[in-house]
Amino acid sequence: MKVTLSVIKADIGGYVGHSSVHPRLLEVAEDSLRKARDKGIILDYHVTRVGDDLQLIMTHTKGVENGEIHRLAWDTFVEATEEAKRLKLYGAGQDLLSDAFSGNIKGLGPGTAEMEFEERPSEPVIIFMADKTSPGAWNLPLYKIFADPFNTPGLVIDPKMHDGFIFEVLDVYEHKRIKFSMPEELYDILILIGATEHYIIKAVYRKTDKEIAAVSSTQRLSMMAGRYVGKDDPVLIVRAQSGFPAVGEILEPFAYPHLVAGWMRGSHFGPLMPVAFHEANPSRFDGPPRVIAAGFQIANGKLIGPRDLFDDPAFDEAKRNANKIADYIRSMGPFEPHRLGLKEMEYTTLPDVLKKLKDRFEELH
Ligand code: F6R
Ligand code: MG
Ligand code: MG
């Protein structure tokens, strides 16, 4: 059976500030998707959240980028936004950047990660969802999961994975994409994907049969309503086991919190902290950035789960280390590399300040 797994997310109002999602919004989304399932539009769904981002996880048989599914997500966000406005939640409707839906939700504000596959005899998948960061946050973990034998021994000792994987990388500024064959092109890919704000891994395929293994919510950046859209709090779907990396190989990179962009005002680097669902409420300095991992078994299109995969004391040390890294990097205040480079900050006063100082800059001879 061919199944499509669609994860569509948006921040349509924070509670309190940008720290979390109000339970009422989850109820509204739940009601909307339940109705859609009863009507047969989707096979199954799960509604969740990370930080201030509302996550709609859906299964169906309509393929990726399907207008009816995108409309369902859009209408659900619009309905939840009405509730957010009633409660005067913070930034109600902030990710709905268009007044009208026009067939595809991409570029309208919400983020999407979707994949279609023939359901295997057993189909474990992990959905990562992050807040206070951007899609480049997945580059390092995806590299480790699918190309680093120190992380994924299956690359060395599992005959089904030994040929390696194909990485599809987007140049989000030039609107181009390129595929790399790993591990042969390791040194070429790393010069690009090490630049996590520019070259972002969109998808990973198994080399032997081109089977889809992972897909992220990365999309080309487009200017909408005066700001770049598509840089926001990302999601990632990864298929596990039987010729794909094991669940533990997929989770392992998150045991070493790496620095990602997006903390405080989308303008600071901070450690990506792996947390249990109930801990995904970034409050300290509006962070630090969080990631949750929801595990599902898909059975005839039904979502069996989720299992809260970072709810494991084995990630306690990662959380402690993330806190230590957070303390350290916070001590740098407004200096790079805690603060992002001038061109990458989501907030800036640079044009105003330069304008004000214009006449005071003297030429050097
Ligand atoms: C939101 C975020 C926050 C806000 C900050 C200022 O995802 O990262 O750090 O940028 O709280 O928010 P405003 O400008 O809405 O007061
Ligand atoms: Mg918000
Ligand atoms: Mg957010």
Mean of pLDDT values over 165-184: 96
Q: Return all residues near 175 (Cβ < 8 A) that are at least 6 apart.
A: 220
Note the pLDDT of residue 224. Answer: 64
- Give the residue whose CA is nearest to atom 12 of ligand 1: 265
Predicted confidence band at 223 (pLDDT cuts at 50, 70, 90)? low
Comparing 222 with 279, which gets the higher pLDDT? 279
Q: Cα(234) to centroid of ligand 3, in Å?
A: 9
Kindly report, residue by residue over 227-267, the tens digit of the pLDDT. 666 668 999 999 999 999 999 999 999 999 999 999 999 99
The average pLDDT across 198-224 equals 91
Name every protein residue with a CB atom under 6 angstroms from any ligand 1 atom.
17-18, 91, 132, 264-266, 286
To the query of whether residue 171 is one of the catalytic residues in this protein, the response is no
Q: Which of 89, 233, 265 most suits a substitution to test ligand 1, by most atoms within 8 Å of the C-beta?
A: 265
Q: Which has the higher per-residue pLDDT, 225 or 351?
A: 351
Q: How many helices and strands in the chain, by DSSP H and E?
A: 9, 17
| Mean pLDDT to the nearest integer, 112-126 | 98
pLDDT (average), residues 350-355? 96
Distance 16 CA to ligand 2 centre (A): 9
**Which atom of ligand 1 is found nearest the CA of 286?**
9
Write down the mean pLDDT value for the chain. Answer: 96
18 C-alpha vs ligand 1 centroid, how far in Å?
Answer: 6
pLDDT cut 90: percent of the chain above it: 90
Instruction: Express as a percent the part of the chain with pLDDT over 70.
Output: 98
> Looking at the DSSP assignment, which residues form a beta bridge with residue 170?
177, 200
| Mean pLDDT, residues 278-295 | 98
Using 50, 70 and 90 to split pLDDT, how confident is the model at 318? very high
Measure the CA–CA gap between 269 and 167, rounded to whole angstroms: 25
Q: Is the pLDDT of residue 219 over 90?
A: no
List the one residue out of 184, 316, 160, 319 whose CA is nearest residue 244.
Answer: 160
Position 106 pLDDT exceeds 90: no
The pLDDT tens digits for 319-350 are 999 999 999 999 999 999 999 999 889 999 99
Annotated catalytic residue 11: yes
Residue 221's pLDDT is what? 75
How far, in Å, CA of 281 to CA of 270, rounded? 15
Contacts of 113 (CB under 8 A, 6+ apart): 6, 7, 215, 216, 217, 234, 235, 236, 237
Asked if pLDDT for residue 125 goes beyond 70, the answer is yes
Which of the four pLDDT bands, split at 50, 70 and 90, describes residue 107? Answer: confident
> Catalytic pick from 95, 148, 231, 232?
231
Ligand 1: centre distance to CA 13 (Å): 12
Active site residue 202: no
Which residue of the set 35, 75, 228, 312 is catalytic? 228
Higher-pLDDT residue of 130 and 220 is 130
Ligand 1 pocket test target in 88, 129, 267, 286 with most atoms within 8 Å of CB: 286
CB-based contacts of 149, cutoff 8 Å, min separation 6: 155, 156
Q: Which residues sit with Cβ closer than 5 angstroms to ligand 2, an ion? A: 11, 14, 18, 52, 91
Q: Answer with the residue of higher pLDDT: 197 or 46.
A: 46
Q: Nearest residue CA, atom 6 of ligand 1?
A: 265
Average pLDDT over residues 217-235: 75
